[in-house]
Structure 1
C-alpha cells in the first residue's frame, strides 16, 4: 500500500546467488534493494534526488537506457511515455555503490597485467567490452540528437514539449557523463567518484493500473528487464513476486502482460497462463502490441487481507449474479433448440408422407409404362436385324436373303389388298437390294448401342414425300443422310410407317423403300411441333398420327419419326404396278 501513497518507497535489501551453469563460468553473489518509484509524480516535484548522489532525471534516464538496451525495437520516447504515465509505477533493483566499487577495484587489479580494462555503462558491468559500450552509447546519442529533439508533434501541449526537451537534454548529458566515468575507470584505479547509477542498476519492472469494462481492476505489466550479468539469479522472479504481493501494490483482480516468444517460458514458471479462452477478456489491451502472447495471472483468495472481506463478498455476489445469468441464458437456449427440433421433426414427417405418396404414384406410373412397352413390343413385328446376323446383310446375293425379300413383296401385295383402302389390287414387279459398306454398318452399330432400348427395331416403309427415284436408289448404296430429313409438322427427321399403303400414297413413282428402323424406346406424341429436333430425354423415337393417309383403319395411319440417319438401315426398294 505504501507504493501508492508515496512517490518513492524503499524495501530492505535482498541477497541473490547464482551458481555455475553451462553459460556462466563463475559464481555470483550480490545484494540489491527494491525501490518503488512513481516517475509521473516524481518529475513534477521540486525534489531533485531520491537516491543519494543520483538526480531524479538520471534515475529516469538509466531506467529508459536499461529497457532500450535489451528492448531495442521500442523507441526511447515510447519507453519514457510508458514509464512516466499517470498510472504507471516502476520497481527498480539497485546495488549499493560501495559493493560495485569493490568489484571494479578487484576487476581492475586482475586485468592490469593483461592491459585490458572492462567497464559498464547501461549493460553488464564486467561482462562487456569498451567497444560494445561505445557502439551502444553512439547509437543512443544518434537517435536523440539536439536537432532531432527539436521536432514537435502536432497537438502536443506546452508542458509535454518542455518535459520532452528536458528528457532529451538530460539523457544526452547522462550519456556523456556515463561515457566520461567509463573512461576514467579504464584509465585509472576506480574511486567512488566514477561510480554512477548506471553501474548500480540491476533490473527494472514497470506496470500500470487499469480497469476493464467489467470494472475489474488489473495491473498491466508493460516492461521488465534484467541486466545480462545478473540473469539466472532469481531477480526477475523476485520482481514478479513483489508485483503479486497485495500488501505492496494494493488489491487487484489480475495481472496481464504481453510476452514475446523468448519470455513465455519464464512467465509460465512464475504462474502466468497463456490460455486463449482465459485471456480473451483482455483482447482490448492487445491493440498496442504486436508479435506478442497475452498472458495473465490471477491471485489466490487468501491474498486478500482476512480483516477486510468486503471485496471478497462483492466478488462472490458478482459471481452469483453472473452464474445465474449464465444458467438462464443456457436454459433459454436449450428451450429454443428443443422447440426448433420439434418444428423440424414435424416438417420432416410431413415431407416423408409426401415422399411416400409420390413414390407410390411413381411406381404405379412405372408399372403402367412397362405394361405399355410390353404391349407395344408384342404388337411390333419381330425381325432379325442386319446388325445381328450377317446372313441377311443388305446387298447379300445368297438365296436366303433373296427369299426374305420375296416375303416382303408378298406381304406388300396382301396388306395392300386386305386394307380395303384402295379399289385396285397392286402387284410387285421387281426389287432392288441395298449394298451398304462395312464402314457404314459399323457407324450404325456404334450409334445404336447408345440408344435407350437398342434391341427394339422393326421393318418399316420410308415415307419420303416427293423423293426422286434416283435418290431412293442412292440411299440403297450410301444409306440415309441428313439431306433426307423431312421438315414435317412434328419435327425435322426421317418418317417411317408400318403401312405400305401410307408409304405408297406418299410417293408418286410406284415404288417404296423398306428399311430396318431402330425405334428403341418410343414416345407417343399427339401435339404438332415443327421445331423439334430430338426426342424427349429417355426416348429414342416418336410415334405420331399419320400425315398423308386417311381411311377406315386409323391404326395404319401411325408413323414413326427418328432424328438420326444412323437409326435406319435400307433393305430394298419394292417396285409395283396397279
Structure 2
C-alpha cells in the first residue's frame, strides 16, 4: 500500500472475514478488499475517480460520515481537516457492489420502516441535536448502527456543496431500496464501506520515523469480524507503508482494548517520548507499537553500522549510569544536611513550645482578672438598669459571677470563655419594659438566664433588646425560651446571651401546647424542669432585658476577631 509520488491510490487482494454468532450479534461472513487513498491529492481539480461511478467527493463524504458516526465528539470540520491533511493517507476496507446487492435482495440486511416526517416544531428542536451524517448508516442500512450526534461545523464552500449533493443522492438511493426489484444503482458507496483508517508519517524530536494513527472506525454491523485488526496488521507491514521506528495512536476509552490486543502499549514512561504528538487530542490514551528488529531498519544495516550503533548505545548507557551515580551521591549529602537541620529545628521547637506554654499561663491569669473586672462593672450597670437597690441577697438568686461560666462542654467539645460584651442599652431605652413589668402578677421575681436560640443574631439582640421577632414556636407555645445552662443556649457562633428575665409568678411544669400564645391564666411564665437544666418560657419580649454576651472559643484554638459593639 506504499504509494509513489505520482500514485493516488492502490489496492490489495480480497480478504474473507467471519464473525461467529454471539448473544448480541448474528453470524456473518463477507469478503472485502483494501484501498489506500491520499485525499489531499485526490481532491485536486481534474483528478480521476478511483471507484467506478463514485465521485471523489462522495468518497470523502462517506469516509467522514463513518468517522463522524463512530466518533461523534470530534466534529465534522476536524475530521475533514484530518483526513484531507497533506501527507495523510486513508486505508479503506470495501465490499463488492454485487455482493452487497445480493444480500439486500436476499433480505440479509435488516430493514426498518421509514421514519415519519417530523412536524416543524420537532424539526426545529432536532436540528441542533442531529449530526450532519446521522442518517448515512442508519435506518434500513443497519439497525445496529450508532445514533450519536454532534454539532455542525463551518465547512468550506466546496465541501458544503458536495455534502448537500451527497445527502440528496443518499436519500434517493434509500428510497429506491425500499421499492421492489431495485437495481445496483440503488447500492451506494456508503453500503459497501466496512472500515476506514487514516494515518500520517511524522518525525519526532529525536528524529525517529513515526506513523501516527489519527482515525480508525468500523461500522457497527461489521464489528467483531476482525476488520480493524486486519487494517492495523496492514499498517505494521513495512513493505506496504515503508520503514518506521514506531506506530503511535491516541485511543479513546472504547478502543484501548482493541489496540492492546494488537500489541500496542499504554505504558506512560514508554509513551512520554510521544507527548508532543498528542496536543491535538483530548480525553485519549497514548499507545505505541514498536516493530521487531527483523522488520525494522536494523535488518538492512551492515556490520559496521551495527557496531557503530552498539558503540553509541554503550556510550549512552555509561553516561546514564554516571548521571545516576552522581545523583545518588548528591541525594545522600542532601539527606545528611537535612537531618542536621531537623535536629537543630527540633531543639528550637521544644524551646519555643515551653515559652508558648508560659505565655499561655500568663495570658490565662490576665484574662481571669479582666473577666472579674468586667463582671463587677456589668453588675453595677445591671443594677442601675433595674432601677432598684438590693435589700437582701434573695432579690438576685443567681449572680453574674455564676452566669459567666468560664468553661463549658458542648457535644464533647471543650469551650472556654474568651471575652464578655456588655449591652449598649440604657434604662431610658426600656421605658416600655418598665411599664409592662408593673402589670405582672409578681413584679419582683426575676432571674439571670441564658437565651435559647442557636440560630439568632445574638449581637443584634444585645444592642437593640428583645423584640417580637425573637418569639419561637415550640412545644410549650409561641414564646421566648431561656435556660439555666449555657451549654443548652450556645449559638452556632459559640456565643451565649445573658439576660435578666422577669419570670413573675411561675407555673411549674405546665402542659405542652404548641398553639399557646400567652402565659397561663394567673401566671407570668412557665418553668420546665429537665434532666440537665431548667427552662423558662415567657410570652412577651418585654419581660427580658439583655445584660451581656459571652464569647466562647475552642480550647487552645487561636482567637478570632468578632465585630461586636462593646
- TM-score normalised to structure 1 length: 0.51
Contact 1:124 1:227 in 2 (8 A): no
Counterpart in the other structure of 2:460: none
d(CA) in 1 for partners of 2:304, 2:168: 56
Counterpart in the other structure of 1:88: 88
Tell me, yes or no, if structure 1 residue 334 matches structure 2 residue 325.
yes
How far residue 292 of structure 1 moved from its aligned partner, in angstroms, is 0.9
d(CA) in 1 for partners of 2:338, 2:221: 74
How far residue 41 of structure 1 moved from its aligned partner, in angstroms, is 1.3
d(CA) in 2 for partners of 1:108, 1:334: 68
CA gap of 1:69–1:341, structure 2 versus 1, over 3 A, is: closer
d(CA) in 2 for partners of 1:320, 1:125: 63
Matching residue within 309, 312, 319 for 1:321: 312
Counterpart in the other structure of 1:123: 137
Counterpart in the other structure of 2:556: none
Q: SS at the partner of 2:106?
A: helix
Matching residue within 158, 174, 183 for 2:166: 174
- Is there any run of 5+ residues in structure 1 with no aligned partner, and where? 150-163, 355-578
Matching residue within 225, 235, 244 for 1:243: 235
1:47-76 CA-to-partner distances (Å, cap 9, x unmatched) read 241111111111111000100011111111
Contact 2:293 2:299 in 1 (8 A): no
Tell me, yes or no, if structure 1 residue 209 matches structure 2 residue 216.
no
Write the mapping of 1:375-414 to structure 2, written as runs, cut at 5 A: none
Contact 2:244 2:296 in 1 (8 A): no
Tell me, yes or no, if structure 1 residue 22 matches structure 2 residue 31.
no
Write the mapping of 1:165-564 to structure 2, written as runs, cut at 5 A: 165-304=157-296, 308-309=300-301, 317-318=308-309, 320-335=311-326, 337-338=328-329
d(CA) in 2 for partners of 1:294, 1:109: 37
Counterpart in the other structure of 2:152: 143
d(CA) in 2 for partners of 1:271, 1:183: 44
d(CA) in 2 for partners of 1:125, 1:43: 30
Q: Which structure has the bigger radius of gyration?
A: 1
Contact 1:123 1:228 in 2 (8 A): no
Counterpart in the other structure of 1:497: none
- Is there any run of 5+ residues in structure 2 with no aligned partner, and where? 116-133, 345-566
Counterpart in the other structure of 2:9: 8
Contact 1:4 1:249 in 2 (8 A): no
1:347-372 CA-to-partner distances (Å, cap 9, x unmatched) read 999x99x9xxxxxxxxxxxxxxxxxx
Contact 2:142 2:221 in 1 (8 A): no
More helix by share: 1
1:371-421 CA-to-partner distances (Å, cap 9, x unmatched) read xxxxxxxxxxxxxxxxxxxxxxxxxxxxxxxxxxxxxxxxxxxxxxxxxxx
CA gap of 1:124–1:234, structure 2 versus 1, over 3 A, is: farther
Q: CA RMSD in A?
A: 3.7
CA gap of 1:192–1:337, structure 2 versus 1, over 3 A, is: closer
Contact 2:90 2:199 in 1 (8 A): yes
d(CA) in 2 for partners of 1:108, 1:339: 72
